[in-house]
Amino acid sequence: STTKRFHFSVEWKNVTRLCQTRRVLTVNGKYPGPTIAVNEGDNVQITVTNNVPRNTTIHWHGVRQLRTGWADGPAYVTQCPIGGGKTYTYNFTVLDQRGTLWWHAHFSWQRASIHGAFIIYPRKPFPFSNSVQSYNFPPIIFGEWWNRDVERVENEMMLYGGGPNSSDAYTINGLPGPLYPCSTKDTFIQTIESGKTYLLRIINAALNEELFFAIANHTLTVVEIDAVYTKPFTTSAIMIAPGQTTNVLLTADQVPDSTAMFVMAARPYLTSVFPFNNSTTIGFLKYKNTTTTNFETNKPLLPSYTLPSNLPAMKDTRFATQFSDNLTSLGSKDYPCRVPKTIDKRVITTIGLSLQDCPVNQTCQGYQGKRFYASMNNRSFIRPSISILQSHYHNLTTTFSSNFPENPPHVFNYTGVDPVTENMNTEFGTKVFEVPFGTKLEIVLQDTNFLNPENHPIHVHGHNFFIVGKGLGNFNASKDPQKYNLVDPPERNTVAVPMGGWAAIRIYTDNPGVWFIHCHLEEHTSWGLATGFIVKNGKEPFQCLLPPPSDLPHC
Ligand code: C2O
């Protein structure tokens, strides 16, 4: 295989947005960071040098890391952080995957500014290439701009037990757009040619919000989610959760009017009791060879920017549900759907917020004067002092335990739940569960809908999964599995579990190592909405975790 080498320098960079200049953490001084583009089958070596006096790690979100868990990146799960002045080379091979993924820091909330696209060009021809005339559309990365240092925001949230401050703007490729103060010149504009169909690679890197996205007067045809091809379907808008990626086809089929600009917009699906950001970021599509007012001068020159009428309203659960119901695997001869039809093991876990008593002599800002936490089966994940993968590899079982409960702690009734008694004082710990190599594993994620109604985007490291079922209310183990889609369920790495409902995912555990499972809303990960699972080595040498690289950071 070919080796592709990249160099990442983690460094401060002064960035001005909303008329405020502040230093943000970047890779190679870029915000958002550089795009990594490789071919399916390539060996990839990315040398990360940390040039700031803070810890960091980088995660290649969605890259399976077959047998190379050491290169996965979540701090204290697969590696100790890269300290200031230190270097670590992430070395892995991209096998049997193609499409759009992304990379981001996996330490504290650093991914707010340390993120970028990770594109894998396919070995076989792109199945929709007949309808695409241009691949020259830059990745569209949604993010959040914070006027404050995000690591401080996280620390304060943990100290006082309240909800975090919200971000100050959503962004498209780091640009807030003209609906925010002082931001007209910081607007994403892309030129397209009339009549052509483009492939758009869309990534949600926002910390805490699922987003709707639409382009005025244009429809989008979804062809890929989380680097897995789908049966194409055409939609007026998309819903995308933090962690997810979506490839769509866009045809420049409009007769441009005098303004010659079409608004694209992203805004949150849900906001709730916490001070979340409910603003909207916009950018523009500009048709080539049309005259348009000069955009660069920050004067009141823009075409009127009414939001696209096809952008769903906030809280449009009907749209969100319909959209995700339309997603399926492509299931073609070249790309068959490999969903396990039977299972060896089912783990049922609640996901949701919880509360902890406030320590004596402290005031807490959470619900009823308590501290917010989050949990899975009433366990709040605590990061260990050395990485779980290192402990596991060297058989040091003292830093974590393998007794994550495989069922909710009591008969769970989300509708009748009393928030204070049912979700109080979760147990803290570093708990994972273990499965043999080659297990057909089902995980049922049951939202507790407690305090803060939202879809939890649950991300699984090291594996893709198939979303075989989802529904509202409580999962019913005797009835719901009968309705599963075992033919062409969507395959992805991050699932938005319906608010007040559940999702059942199936995984074939063919990747030995330690794999993090967590909510991709950053505040929920901080509060402990996470666990992990260990896939043991298989019988054959090629079914075993490789030894750690010699430059693996120490804690
Ligand atoms: Cu995109 Cu554990 O992360």
**Ligand 1 center–CA 509 separation, angstroms:** 18
- Residue of 45, 71, 73, 68 lying closest to 57 (CA atoms): 73
| Pocket flag, ligand 1, residue 115 (CB < 6 Å) | no
**Ligand 1 center–CA 203 separation, angstroms:** 13
| Pocket flag, ligand 1, residue 106 (CB < 6 Å) | yes
| Pocket flag, ligand 1, residue 170 (CB < 6 Å) | no
CB atoms within 10 A of CB 437: 17
| Pocket flag, ligand 1, residue 111 (CB < 6 Å) | no
Residues 6+ apart with CB under 8 A from 361: none
**ipTM of the predicted assembly exceeds 0.85:** yes
Q: In what order do the strands lie in the sheet with 432-435?
A: 432-435, 530-535, 513-519, 456-460, 494-497
The amino acid at 176: P
**Ligand 1 center–CA 243 separation, angstroms:** 7
Same fold, 1-124 and 125-326: yes
- Residue of 448, 453, 439, 442 lying closest to 377 (CA atoms): 448
Please give the DSSP secondary-structure letter assigned to residue 547.
Answer: P
Question: What atom in ligand 1 is closest to the CA of residue 461?
Answer: 2
Q: What pTM was computed for the model?
A: 0.96
User: Please, what is the Cα angle at 236 between 235 and 242, to 5 degrees?
Assistant: 80
The pLDDT of residue 301: 47
Write phi, then psi, for 70 (nearest 5 degrees): -60, -20
Max Cα-Cα span within the chain: 69
Question: What atom in ligand 1 is closest to the CA of residue 111?
Answer: 1
Alpha-carbon gap, residue 51 to 53, rounded angstroms? 7
Residue nearest to atom 2 of ligand 1 (CA): 74
For the chain, what are the domain ranges? 1-124, 125-326, 345-543
Alpha-carbon gap, residue 415 to 379, rounded angstroms? 21
**Ligand 1 center–CA 404 separation, angstroms:** 20
CATH number for the region 1-124 comes to 2.60.40.420
Question: What atom in ligand 1 is closest to the CA of residue 102?
Answer: 1
**Ligand 1 center–CA 474 separation, angstroms:** 27
The pLDDT of residue 282: 95
CB atoms within 10 A of CB 376: 28
345-543: CATH, from 1.10.150.120, 3.60.20.10, 3.40.50.720, 2.60.40.420:
2.60.40.420
Q: Check if CATH label 3.20.10.10 holds for domain 125-326.
A: no
Write phi, then psi, for 501 (nearest 5 degrees): -145, -155
181 three-state secondary structure? coil
Residue whose structure tokens are 């483009």: 198
The pLDDT of residue 219: 97
| Pocket flag, ligand 1, residue 243 (CB < 6 Å) | yes
Question: What atom in ligand 1 is closest to the CA of residue 74?
Answer: 2
| Pocket flag, ligand 1, residue 74 (CB < 6 Å) | yes
Buried b (16+ CB within 10 A) or exposed e, 380-403: bbeebebbbbbbbbeeeeeebeee
| Pocket flag, ligand 1, residue 462 (CB < 6 Å) | no
| Pocket flag, ligand 1, residue 59 (CB < 6 Å) | yes
Alpha helices in 182-278 (DSSP H): none
Q: How far is CA 238 from CA 32, 194, 269, 466, in A?
A: 22, 23, 11, 20
Question: What atom in ligand 1 is closest to the CA of residue 494?
Answer: 1
Question: What atom in ligand 1 is closest to the CA of residue 243?
Answer: 1
Please give the DSSP secondary-structure letter assigned to residue 156.
Answer: H
**Ligand 1 center–CA 379 separation, angstroms:** 19
**Ligand 1 center–CA 209 separation, angstroms:** 15
Q: How far is CA 255 from CA 1, 26, 86, in A?
A: 46, 40, 54
Please give the DSSP secondary-structure letter assigned to residue 189.
Answer: E
Alpha-carbon gap, residue 532 to 400, rounded angstroms? 11
Residue nearest to atom 3 of ligand 1 (CA): 61
Q: Cβ distance 358 to 369 under 8 Å? A: yes
Tell me the β-bridge partners of 84.
none
**Ligand 1 center–CA 234 separation, angstroms:** 28
Do the bridges between strand 115-121 and strand 36-39 make them parallel or antiparallel, or are there none, so unpaired? parallel
Tens digit of each residue's pLDDT, the chain (555 residues): 899 999 999 999 999 999 999 999 999 999 999 999 999 999 999 999 999 999 999 999 999 999 999 999 999 999 999 999 999 999 999 999 999 999 999 999 999 999 999 999 999 999 999 999 999 999 999 999 999 999 999 999 998 888 877 899 999 999 999 999 999 999 999 999 999 999 999 999 999 999 999 999 999 999 999 999 999 999 999 999 999 999 999 999 997 665 568 999 999 998 755 567 889 999 999 888 776 555 544 444 455 678 999 999 999 999 999 999 999 999 999 999 999 999 999 999 999 888 888 988 888 988 888 898 999 998 999 999 999 999 999 998 788 999 999 998 766 665 555 555 566 678 999 999 999 999 999 999 998 877 666 789 999 999 999 999 999 988 999 999 999 999 999 999 999 999 889 999 999 999 999 999 999 999 999 999 999 999 999 999 999 999 999 999 999
The amino acid at 374: A
Question: What atom in ligand 1 is closest to the CA of residue 516?
Answer: 2
The amino acid at 334: D
The pLDDT of residue 299: 45
| Pocket flag, ligand 1, residue 286 (CB < 6 Å) | no
Q: CA torsion, points 403, 552, 74, 387, in degrees to nearest 10?
A: 20
